[in-house]
Structure 1
Amino acid sequence: MFESIRRAKLQRAGLSCGKKRLKHQEGDLVDELRTHKAATIAVYLGFFFVLGLLMKMGAAVIPGTVTPQPIAYICMAAIASALVVHLRVALTEDVEDNAELALVLGTLLLQMGANVAMLDYGNQQSWTGALLVVAMPHAFAPLVLSVILGRKMGLFAAIYSTLLGTIVCVAVNPITYLASSSLIGFLVVLFTKRVRRRNRLFMAGLYIGVVAAVFSLILHEAAGTGLGGVSLGRILGVPFAIGIITGLLVGGLLPVIESLFGATTEVSWLELADLNHPLMKRLSIEAPGTYHHSLVVANLSEAAAESIGANAAMTRVCAYFHDIGKLTKPEYFIENMDPAENPHDDLTARMSALILIAHVKDGVDLAIKHKLNVSIIDVIEQHHGTSLAWYFYKRALDQKAEMIRLVEQGKSKEDDVPQVSEEVFRYPGPTPQFKESAIISLADAVESASRALEKPNASRIEGLVDELVQDRMKDGQLDECDLTIAELARVKASFVKTLLSMMHSRIKYQKGHEAPTSNIITKEAAATAQIHDGMTLVTENPYATGAGNEKKRSARKPPASAA
């Protein structure tokens, strides 16, 4: 309330527009619940409780089945406790918060519930023997978790859906259940490598349906009792249909699951990579230089992410949107600036720095308004970390030194000497918190600095990349992400390789009446210079061909962009 009153007073005084900048989930209760230990304990207790209910239901669906005794519940609790230990010891990086924990445990419970329902339906249809077991949707939990959280989590789901299902579905043969569930669960994880299109889920269901049908037939033949009154079409057709239905069901449920638990699959990242998004279309029209910069950063980042096994699709999409904050004042950034007019000439160094630094908060504001993925917002916040806007900081120091000189000469007063604080010229942060964010941060700096290279070649590009990465490390910008030294070396090598392919030399175009002099652009080509991120960019003039065209044009040097 007091903040609203203060903002209203500033607005009446003409010092505020009255609008409140959106912040990224600051103080959100949902964010608190994601990491709170009490919520974690509640999720585990709920899992144990529902599992106990499913055990009771599983025994009740088939008449004559013995009701679970206390020892059965103790065995269930032992296996569930092993599941908890497995998650806490080996999979802490894969299950980072309570939302993902609820997704994992909820998916397992959903499969157990589907198994009980299928057991009840099969009993009503007079299915017996192996068909009653193979007809269960054993592929559901492994398929869901493999696609959303990775194949390691898919294997985890296959293991514990098998162990827990043996106790829940106590009315069926435990050996047959163990064999069927483990075979189908592990194979469906094998079939979900790099699911980049939703039709791959249908194909995974198709493949697992074929496997289940063949295994069902083998089990019936191995039993030595013939078909036992069950038609061959049902023995083959029911498991095959269940496999296909599971694939289709998972494909349809993925958007709902992603929305409920805040997860994003590679399929969704590829859908978000559409450059026809309203913000990207605005960027291409209102800030074409930033748009091109974002595309190049996306190429650099994606290749680097692939080299270390990070999420390449997520990295590309986040790189597309990392500079959307520049849409607020595109003309103040060098890549969009009119060479004939530099708006920073009329501003102090501190004001220029504040305008450039503000593009991070402006980007978060735009991203929240357009309901972009939370990971994109994280990257927008983190892609500059707490780095220094060096060009304007240096200019402020130079201005301060000049004022001190004038004071010493008696031409100015000491009160006119500006106070220069490094903190004012630093971005608000935070520093990159995960690998993909760190890669985009480095690619952003590398792309900007590479434009300043004169006569780029392998050694110069490699030296530039190494210097930039070392500077970021010394400044503490990579302290909070989980990039290892070995991964950082592969990232640098990827940057060098990609930049070399982008900046390779071209054969000089010869007109028909010209005598060929050289196949490579000559060193005598004229140059134009501009400043980008505090470094000088020299670009050769491809139209300078002879001695008469060796005159160099000197363009006014605008200040550095925060890109």
Structure 2
Amino acid sequence: MKNEVQMKGKFHYRLSGWKYNTGIRVVMFLLLGVIFYTALYAKLVPQVFDITLGMKSEKTIYAPEQIENAVATEQAKEDAAKRVQPVYRIVNLKNEVISDAIFDKLSQINADEEVKFDDKVSIYRRVIPQIISDLTNDAIKTLRNSGQYNDLLLEQMQSGLDEQKYPLPEEVYFKLPRLTKEDLAEMRPVTKDIVTKLMNDQILDAQTARAKVAEVVNTSKLAKNTSREMVTEIARALITPNKFFDQKGTDDAKGQARENMKPVYINKNDVLVKAGDVITEEIYTRLEKLKLLKDKANHLPQVGLGILSVLLCFVMFMFVKQSMMELKYNNSQLVMLILIFAMNISGMKIISFLQNVEYPIIGYLAPTALGSILIAILLDAPLAFIASVIFSFIASIIFNTEHDLLFDFRFGLVSLVGCFSAVFTIQRASQRATILKAGLMIAFFSMLTITSMLLLEDHFQQKEVLMSLAFATAGGLATVVFVIGLLPFFEASFGILSPLKLVELSNPNHPLLRKLLTETPGTYHHSVMVGNLSEAAAESIGADGLLCRVGSYYHDIGKTKRPSYFIENQTNIENPHDKIDPNLSKSIIVAHPRDGVEMLKDFKMPKPIRDIAEQHHGTTLLHFFYYKAMKLAQEENSEKGIREEDFRYAGPKAQSKEAAIVGIADSVEAAVRSLRNPTLEQIDSMVTKIIKSRLDDGQFNECDLTLKELDTIAKTLNETLLGIFHSRIEYPSEVTTKKPGA
């Protein structure tokens, strides 16, 4: 737990100014809500423009999301339909059957000698066209009954056959009756073969096919010219179109081509309207569909976003209110928290601008865990977990590229896992290298989460996997770079003493510690001992042990101004206090906290360190010089009164647990060191006496140490001192009886 300071109304000097003003704190939380609202506005609330039909656009308008370009899509469909070739159907009308029917009629009538020649001519003029027509109609009827052909096609077939019907020349009817039985027998197979052969081709124009008949007949075995002529004409009459235009099939093919045409999209951030363009009906409809028109805007999303922002802000407010962090009262730290939120969300927004529909996975590049790490180091780990949940929730909205969804759980989950892994890694960090470790953990667990989601979806591509993992790795490493770069800024700007900074300040090569060691070695040793004692005591009650240890190293730095006036530095020299007035001695002694603070300020040391140096003595009484002054006054029969207040440290009293603990450890270490051969009972009695004396003197009235914690501190100090002075402790004598042979 970070610095816990009991902020109560009676400590006016701690609660004065804007840093502890309740009204300003409320404004700060409202500002946090405004940040949430502003960050999510573009994603959740469509932008609207004051536009009317026919006007010129005053600004360039970009598509807030991917949308289908209806006009372009329709044009693409029409173009696809135009590219579709006409559909034709090949129909077998079985014209060879008609050939057999005609020759059967010829054989029958020619063989009848009772029928006169003129009657035969008349019959052929009437019957042959009728046979062709009837059998053709029967074939079409059969096709209709089969259900394989639509009515429109059959109608087009009938129309085509009628249009391309071949009329037999008149002289044919006069020559047919003169054909003998032998002639007809010879002509029948030839005619049938010619019709079958030519009808096997796709015939759209019968005239072209009929032109080939004479050539084929000339290659036949028919010897008589009359037979050849009649076969030619009959075959021409039987050659009909067999390839017909299918209007319905063509329309269906065009319809299928339209359906297969993919929609044409206007991608996110594409220009919808350029500045100066006239708003046409098409553009107006498009803007209306995207809900970008001001006069038709829906304000409900704004209300919803406002409620959502308030809820997120309320979560942070309640968590801080229920905690014991200094942030609960310190508006300076609240400003830092809000700044971290603003920077982290800004980073996510910048990465979101690089996203598009084709590569939404760029969102994995965002250093979402940046804010979580900074909060964990600078403020509090539990607060970092709550912030991580909010960051992940916001990431699921900002990186969502699906216009029909409010959240994309993939980015939220990856962000949550990355933030949590970072906070778990960075807790109680004592080295800068821990930040790098946190970045590697972010990258590893983010990649693991992405891999699990891709495997669950089971329709990923290798390129998508590699790019997703690469972006996640880059995001983790980028987080490390930003944290290392921003951490000193926050530490210096807000006076935050992070564990990493404390470890740096504990380096013996620090100029002040080197000065302490070289000029006051006794004080240096004393400070190290106090550091060990105070760290153990602080950790036993959950206070900041590292702050106590480092604060102890610097708490007596003011003694370097007059080192010989402090007993731990009086090696082989006389005590100068023996020869000077106790009031002067008092002035020298009580000045070292003030001198220390001034020296720490000169080196721009963090305020918590300065507070420990200033407050570790509180307003305690210098008993030795007070009683010495009283004794001298009695010996001199001086009428001048000796006031106790004049022999007290200037204070202030300890304002934090850490300052109080360092003060206790300082007194305990000095007192125990003064004992020649301390025993366990003497140490316990000394620790109890010092704590009780400070408690009775009201030195703990302005910090939140409880009696139970004071008892725990006393036990811990006893145990620690036992380990330090174990070689000199005289244990109670015990009678030990040695066994024979032992």
TM-score for the superposition, normalised by structure 1: 0.77
Counterpart position of 1:270: 503
Instruction: Point out the structure with max Rg over C-alpha.
Output: 2
Instruction: Provide the C-alpha distance between the structure 2 equivalents of 1:242 and 1:226, rounded to a whole number of angstroms.
Output: 21
Query: 2:418 — aligned with what?
Result: 184
* In structure 2, distance between residues paired with 1:121 and 1:31: 46
Evaluate the alpha carbon distance shift between residue 346 and residue 266 of structure 1 in structure 2; reply closer, same or farther with a 3 A threshold: same
Moved more, 294-303 or 443-452: 294-303
How much has 1:230 moved relative to structure 2? 4.3
Q: Distance in 2 between matches of 1:434 and 1:30?
A: 14
Q: Would you say 1:127 and 2:359 are equivalent positions?
A: yes
Which residue in the other structure is 1:260 paired with?
493
Q: Equivalent of 2:379, from 144, 149, 154?
A: 149
Equivalent-residue separation in structure 2 for 1:452 and 1:82 (angstroms): 54
| Range with bigger deviation, 193-202 or 69-78 | 69-78
Q: Within the alignment, does 1:465 sit opposite 2:697 as a pair?
A: no
Give the C-alpha shift of residue 434 in structure 1: 0.9
Q: 2:562 aligns to what?
A: 329
Q: Any conservation in 2 of the 1:457–1:500 contact (CA below 8 Å)?
A: no
Name the CA shift for 1:463/1:29 in 2 (closer, same or farther; >3 Å). Answer: closer
Q: How does 1:272-291 map onto structure 2 within 5 Å? A: 272-291=505-524
> Distance between the aligned counterparts of 1:358 and 1:108, measured in 2?
43
Q: 1:75 aligns with which of 308, 314, 323?
A: 308
Quote the offset at 1:242 in angstroms: 0.8
The number of equivalent residue pairs is 469
Letter of the structure 2 residue corresponding to residue 372 of structure 1: M
For 2:445, which of 189, 211, 234 is the aligned residue?
211
Note the 1:284-323 alignment, pairs <5 A. 284-323=517-556
List per-residue Cα deviations over 1:329-378 (Å, max 9, x = no partner): 22222222365533223322222212211112111121112222211111
Match of 2:38 among 36, 43, 53: 53
- Inter-partner Cα distance in structure 2 for 1:86 and 1:150: 12
Instruction: Please state if 1:422 is matched with 2:647.
Output: no
The residue aligned with 1:499 is 721
Equivalent residue number for residue 474 of structure 2: 241
2:65 to 45, 50, 63: 63
- Taking the TM superposition and a 5 Å limit, the aligned residue runs for 1:367-516 are 367-404=600-637, 416-505=638-727
Quick check: 1:382–1:429 contact (8 Å CA) kept in 2? Answer: yes
State the SS of the aligned residue for 1:451. Answer: helix
Q: How big is the shift at 1:278?
A: 2.2
Aligned to 2:86: none
Q: Deviations over 1:170-227 (max 9, x none)?
A: 6453433443333332232222232111111111111121111121122223234323
8 Å contact from structure 2 (residues 421, 441) kept in 1: no
Q: Specify whether residues 497 and 89 from structure 1 end up closer, same or farther in structure 2 by C-alpha distance, changes over 3 A only.
A: closer
Q: CA separation in 1, counterparts of 2:418 and 2:442?
A: 7
Cα displacement (A) at 1:57: 3.7
Name the CA distance, whole Å, in 2 between partners of 1:255 and 1:394.
49
Q: Is this contact kept in 2: 1:283–1:324, CA < 8 A? A: yes
Q: Are 2:592 and 1:359 equivalent residues in the alignment?
A: yes
Conserved 8 A contact 1:79-1:163: no
The answer as to whether partners of 1:94 and 1:153 remain within 8 angstroms in 2 is no
Which range is displaced more, 256-265 or 280-289?
280-289
Structure 1 alignment gaps of length 5 or more? 1-26, 405-415, 508-519, 524-563
CA distance in 1, matches of 2:706, 2:432: 33
Q: 1:42 to 1:339 in 2, by over 3 A?
A: same
Q: State the alpha-carbon separation in 1 of the partners of residues 341 and 498 from structure 2.
A: 19
Q: Is the CA contact 1:76–1:164 (under 8 Å) kept in the aligned structure 2?
A: no
Measured on the aligned residues, the alpha-carbon RMSD in Å equals 2.9
Asked which structure has the greater RCO (Cα within 8 Å, sep 6+), the reply is 2
Rounded Cα–Cα distance in structure 2 between residues aligned with 1:269 and 1:340: 36
Partner amino acid, structure 2, of 1:127: Y
Task: Tell me which of 422, 432, 437 is aligned to 1:198.
Answer: 432
The answer to whether the 8 A contact 1:298-1:317 is kept is yes
After superposition, the Cα gap between the structure-2 partners of 1:224 and 1:288, relative to the gap in structure 1 and judged at 3 Å, is: closer
Deviations 1:370-396 (A, max 9, x none): 222211111111010000000011112
- Please give the alpha-carbon distance, in whole angstroms, between the structure 2 residues aligned to 1:205 and 1:37: 37
Q: Residues 288 and 191 of structure 1: is their aligned pair in 2 closer, same or farther, counting only changes over 3 Å?
A: closer
Measure how far apart 1:30 and its partner are: 13
Q: Determine if contact 2:372/2:385 at 8 Å carries over to the other structure.
A: yes
Alignment-derived partner of residue 342 in structure 1: 575
**3-state SS in 1 of match to 2:717:** helix
- Residue pair 2:368, 2:419 contacting (<8 A) in 1 also: yes
Per the normalisation by structure 2, the TM-score is 0.59
CA distance in structure 2 between the partners assigned to 1:466 and 1:394 by the alignment = 23
